[in-house]
Amino acid sequence: MTEKQEKIAIHLRYKDVEKEFNATLEEAWLLIRKFFNEFLPSFEIASSLWISVDLQQLAKDCERLIGFSKEGPSIMVSNAKLTDNETLLMWLLASHLGHELGALANEVVSKEDLKHRLGKSAKITSTRLGELVKNGSVVKTEGEKFKITTFGIIQMQKEVLPRIRAKTNS
């Protein structure tokens, strides 16, 4: 006659990962150890490779360069002091930041609006946007609209915003 072993219900949650199982005490202990020994180290490694944007730091990095009013976003630097690509990236960054802060309904900007903001021809605007899409800073969405990528934001924070500040003494 064998004795029926009691089972235990386990629910593990770590960040966005959840694991549930029912097992005997011995099996549960082994499964928990397996979870910690195998899964968490690889999850931590993957997490360290995941790029994300700190919204508070981004807002601070954009002080005196981007502003918002009831009319919408504004770039506080003259286009004359910026390259075409910097200008486009600044407008797309302003749209992203405005959206994240709740000041704008969405973060995408039409090619026509970007052409107007850049103050250049449709051909030049299209060429510059193509360059930004090719280098991964910007993505094209439906309806000839564009938005800045997470990679583009990180590049802005590391390289472009400091360069713009140096040019404008902001």
Contact 7, 22 (CB under 8 A): yes
Query: 160 and 79 in one domain?
Result: yes
Query: 27 and 76 in one domain?
Result: no
Query: 120 and 156 in one domain?
Result: yes
> Does pLDDT of 1 surpass 50?
no
Query: 38 and 86 in one domain?
Result: no
Query: 93 and 164 in one domain?
Result: yes
For residue 1, tell me if it sits in a domain. Answer: no
pTM, full prediction: 0.74
- For the chain, the average pLDDT equals 89
> Does pLDDT of 66 surpass 70?
yes
Query: 101 and 29 in one domain?
Result: no
Query: 104 and 32 in one domain?
Result: no
For residue 133, tell me if it sits in a domain. Answer: yes
Query: 67 and 31 in one domain?
Result: no
CATH of the domain at 77: 1.10.10.10
Query: 130 and 150 in one domain?
Result: yes
Contacts of 122 (CB under 8 A, 6+ apart): 111, 115
Query: 148 and 88 in one domain?
Result: yes
> Which residue range is the domain that position 32 belongs to?
7-49
Query: 37 and 70 in one domain?
Result: no
For residue 137, tell me if it sits in a domain. Answer: yes
Query: 136 and 66 in one domain?
Result: yes
pLDDT tens profile 94-146? 999 999 999 999 999 999 999 999 999 999 999 999 999 999 999 999 999 99
Number of domains composing the chain: 2
Average pLDDT estimate for 151-157: 97
For residue 2, tell me if it sits in a domain. Answer: no
pLDDT tens profile 42-60? 766 766 777 889 999 999 9
Percent pLDDT > 90 in the chain is 65
CA 92 to each of CA 16, 26, 50, 109, 124: distance values in angstroms, whole numbers, following the listed order: 29, 55, 22, 7, 17
